[in-house]
Structure 1
Amino acid sequence: MTVAYRHDVHKLRGRTHAGAASEFRGIPVNQDVPLYADADAALLSRPRGEPEQTVPAHDSPRRLPLLDGEVTALEAVVGDIGDAIFDLVRIDDPAALHRAWLDASVPALFSESRYYPFTSAKYHTLLVAALLDNYRAVSPFGDVYLSVSTHAGEADPRIVPHRTVLTTASFALHVTADPVGPAARIGSRPTQCFGDVWARLPAVPFDVDARRCWRVLDGQLRRLRSWSTALQYIEAFCNTVGHDDAAATSTRWWA
């Protein structure tokens, strides 16, 4: 499973596939992911065919945040980008590596492709790992669901190794053929369909009637097509709004 988490290290270094090295500080990286998991995950977030520049004014490997459009300076997140990447990819235990990616901030600074700057290298990688784990368990794409679990008193919402693709303070999302909790089948083939799948969930993991911010989030997620873009948007939105009492009494526009 480690190959899934290390296959796009070149993107975190601002390099193209053609310029990708086979090792990073002695660790094998940028290797092909088996069972077409990488290609399928890419189709969840980007269109088929030759890429086209979608934001001509932003020709950069850095991700363009959908929430506020402000690119975060690397220096505001990490001192040395090389050390941060090494600390992330050198982990040998697959489950620990998965957890590190869930918590990582540096990969979220980069897009899957400079042609599609709203996408997220972090969530593309987590989607690749989730699909690979399902495929290795002989579960075809058509049997895979988006599943939701909520906070139930533990330190974190339920985390399933490799299949959890997002965690927040109060809920987690999983891409799995073995759903527990509210779930919706993704579809027969990989395509940009996040909003459609989200709309088919029998329940969402927050109370849209309680606060306007959750209605805003739910409405946006029903519109977003790209999976990595949507997952990154959830992370940014929840980090901004928060889940504590201070957020509940916020005077921001979304309160």
Structure 2
Amino acid sequence: MVAVYRHDVHKLRGRSHGAAADTYHGVPVNETVPLHADRDGAQLSRPRGEPEQTVANHASPYRLSLLTGETAVDTERIRVAADGGVQDLLTPADPERLHARWLTSDVAAAFNESLYYPYTSLQYHTLLTAALLHSYRAGHAFADLALVATAPDTTNAGGELTRDPETALAAEGVEPHRAILWTPDIAFHVTATPGDRPAAGLGDQPARSFADTWSRLPDHPLDVDGERRWRILDAQLRRIRSWSAALAFIDEFTAAHASAGVDRGDGT
């Protein structure tokens, strides 16, 4: 599972696949993800076939925000990346720690998964691909998988509400490699074993189907009836087809409308 979190390092460095290096600070990177998980992960967020530029004058590795319409990067993220933020996403040899870092990373959130589709998210493409690979390695097919929506626990050992890699590693509600979104208000897992948790099947094959899948969830922890902010979010999610773009939108939206006392800490 280590390789899946390192397979798109060239995108974090603003390089094309053809110009990708085999190592980064001595760590093997840009390796092929087995079982077609990378291909399937891409099809969850991008159209099939030859890519086309969808936003004029934005040939940049930095993601555009669906929430603001602006580039989803600031000087602090650039500074952190330059100071080793990218390396922190790659160097742990423990795949569960790699998952926790990607799940909570502001640095990874700044990049898109394709220059042609700048509203997509490299962070969430990587997490989706990891979830697919984890399930495929366990013998499950794509059609066996479901999206599970739950209320998260982002309380650290000190009783503070936060979101950082160590808290994610310790959280009972974060399943390694299956968790694809973890905010103070909602968490998502992709799994073949949802149990009695609210879940909706992903479909027969990978497709840009987030809006349909979200609409089919029988329940979720957002109080749509009681709070206007969640009604707004719910309405938008019923329109967004790209999985990685939708997950990035939820992340940004919940941060902008954060519950009181939540520290959105970031280990990278």
TM-score, normalisation: structure 2: 0.88
**In 2, are the aligned partners of 1:63 and 1:110 still within 8 Å (CA)?**
yes
Q: CA deviation at 1:152?
A: 6.0
Residue in 1 that maps onto 2:71: 71
Aligned partner of 1:249 in structure 2 is none
8 Å contact kept, 2:103–2:180: yes
Q: Give, in angstroms, the shift of residue 88 of structure 1.
A: 1.4
Map residues 112-191 of structure 1 onto 2, 5 A cutoff.
112-151=113-152, 155=156, 156=171, 158-180=173-195, 181-191=197-207
For residues 60-116 of structure 1, give each alpha carbon's deviation from its aligned partner in whole angstroms, at most 9, with x where no partner exists: 111001100121445222425251111110011011110111111111111010100
Instruction: State how far apart, in whole Å, the 1-side matches of 2:246 and 2:215 are.
Output: 13
Give the AA of the match of 1:217. L
Contact 1:134 1:176 in 2 (8 A): yes
CA contact (8 A) 1:157 1:170 kept: no
Which residues in structure 2 correspond to 1:10-49 (within 5 Å)?
10-49=10-49
Letter aligned with residue 89 of structure 1: L
Deviation at 1:157, TM superposition (A): 7.0
Give 2:165's aligned residue.
none
Cα displacement (A) at 1:171? 2.5
Provide the C-alpha distance between the structure 2 equivalents of 1:170 and 1:68, rounded to a whole number of angstroms.
20
Query: Relative contact order: is structure 1 or structure 2 higher (C-alpha 8 Å, sep ≥ 6)?
Result: 2
Matches of 1:104 and 1:91 in 2, distance apart? 14
CA distance 1:183–1:104, change in 2 (3 Å): same
Percent of aligned pairs with the same amino acid: 50
Mean alpha-carbon deviation: is it higher for 208-217 or for 38-47?
208-217
CA distances 1:146-176 after superposition (whole Å, capped 9, x unpaired): 0012136965571000000000113210011
Q: How does 1:184-223 map to 2 (within 5 A)?
A: 184-223=200-239
Q: Which amino acid aligns with 2:31?
A: Q
Query: Which residue identity does 2:245 align to in structure 1?
Result: T
Alpha-carbon distance in 1 for matches of 2:247, 2:124: 7
- Quickly say closer, same or farther: Cα 1:6–1:168, change in 2 above 3 A: same
Q: Give the match for residue 94 of structure 2.
A: 93
CA distance in 2, matches of 1:67, 1:221: 12
**Letter matched to residue 38 of structure 1:** D
CA separation of 1:45/1:72 partners in 2, compared to 1, >3 Å: closer, same or farther?
A: closer
CA separation of 1:14 and 1:190: change in aligned 2, threshold 3 A: same
Query: 4+ runs of 1 displaced by more than 2 Å?
Result: 72-76, 151-157
Deviations 1:33-76 (A, max 9, x none): 00000000000000000000000121211100110012144522
Q: Which amino acid aligns with 2:26?
A: G
| Contact 1:182/1:201 (8 A) holds in 2 | yes
One-letter amino acid of the structure 2 residue matched with residue 172 of structure 1: A
Whole-angstrom CA distance in 1 between matches of 2:200 and 2:80: 40
Aligned CA RMSD, in angstroms, stands at 1.6
Query: How many aligned positions are there?
Result: 246
Task: Report the 3-state secondary structure (helix = DSSP H, G, I; strand = E; otherwise coil) of the residue aligned with 1:139.
Answer: coil
Residue in 2 that maps onto 1:250: none
